[in-house]
């Protein structure tokens, strides 16, 4: 079945450092890909998405490109801030008649130090 694998954390960076969180997927067909962020005590918030190969999703300085040839959707940010400290989840969606089913990775905790 479909699955998502993301790098284990925690990832600890200094403020203004470059961030990469790796995500690879296994899927039949052509899934959409997502990054969600979860702050302490909150639900998941959609950060960005890409719906087809070579699409780049971007939001709040974060970017990820849908790479079909490497089945990857790595999250990047050029300069992280303390406020980016959170858990990041990679996910894919697969279409089932009438709706979508979502599969999540295990999450990567990011800690940014001032």
Count the neighbouring beta carbons within 10 Å of the beta carbon of residue 79.
Answer: 11
- Residue number with CB closer to another protein (66 or 89): 89
Least CB distance from residue 15 to another protein, whole Å?
25
Does 75 engage in binding with another protein (CB under 8 A)?
no
Among residues 75, 89, 110, 112, the one that binds another protein under rule CB under 8 A: 89
Comparing CB distances to another protein, the nearer of 38 and 65 is 38
CA separation for the pair 1, 48 (Å, rounded): 24
81 binds another protein (CB under 8 A): no
Class of residue 78 by CB neighbours under 10 A (exposed 0-12, middle 13-18, buried 19+): exposed
Residue 41 as a binder of another protein (CB under 8 A): the answer is yes
Helix (H, G, I), strand (E, B) or coil at 83: helix
């Amino acid at each position: 079945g479909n699955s998502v694998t993301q790098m284990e954390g925690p990832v600890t960076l200094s403020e203004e450092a470059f961030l990469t969180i790796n995500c690879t997927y296994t899927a039949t067909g052509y899934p959409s890909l997502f990054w969600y962020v979860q702050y302490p005590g909150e639900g998941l918030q959609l950060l960005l998405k890409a719906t087809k190969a070579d699409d780049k999703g971007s939001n709040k300085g974060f970017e990820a490109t849908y790479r079909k040839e490497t089945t990857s959707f790595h999250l990047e940010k050029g300069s992280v801030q303390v406020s980016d400290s959170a858990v990041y989840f990679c996910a894919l969606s697969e279409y089932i008649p009438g709706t979508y089913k979502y599969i999540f990775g295990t999450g990567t905790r990011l800690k940014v130090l001032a």
